[in-house]
Structure 1
Amino acid sequence: MWPMSQMHLLFVFVERDNEEVGEPVANYFGITGQETTVLAYTGNEDSKKFFYSGEISLDNIKLQS
């Protein structure tokens, strides 16, 4: 795991039924369906996606330092 000082976070919210923006973004990250999705994406050369499958709440998805 990287030190918190070297981590970069990007939060993206798109409406998936928007064919110009939402659909391409969802497809890029491999998101299907209409349910709200939270995932972590490394974005480096060997990028990895980590999908969160628990209840979505601040306590459940916040970063721990």
Structure 2
Amino acid sequence: MGEKRTEACGRCGISSAVDASDGDGERDPFGDERIEVDERDARAAMRLQVAAGRLKRRLDELATRLTYGR
């Protein structure tokens, strides 16, 4: 039996969605060895998450000061 190779990046979920979609078999999500994303595109996609993380940290700090008087 062959060894099953999976990736932690979510590529397995994408391949399952492709398999379940049209099923024409022409698209191979595992055709390339790695998934490459341009750094500029990755940064643009993460702006909202970074801003939300910073806001969460500030709210946590405020709640800690109000709760413990620090």
More contact order relative to length (CA 8 Å, sep ≥ 6): 1
Query: Which is richer in strand?
Result: 1
Which TM-score band (shorter chain)?
A: under 0.3
TM-score, scaled to structure 2: 0.21
TM-score, scaled to structure 1: 0.23
Question: Which structure has the larger Rg?
Answer: 2
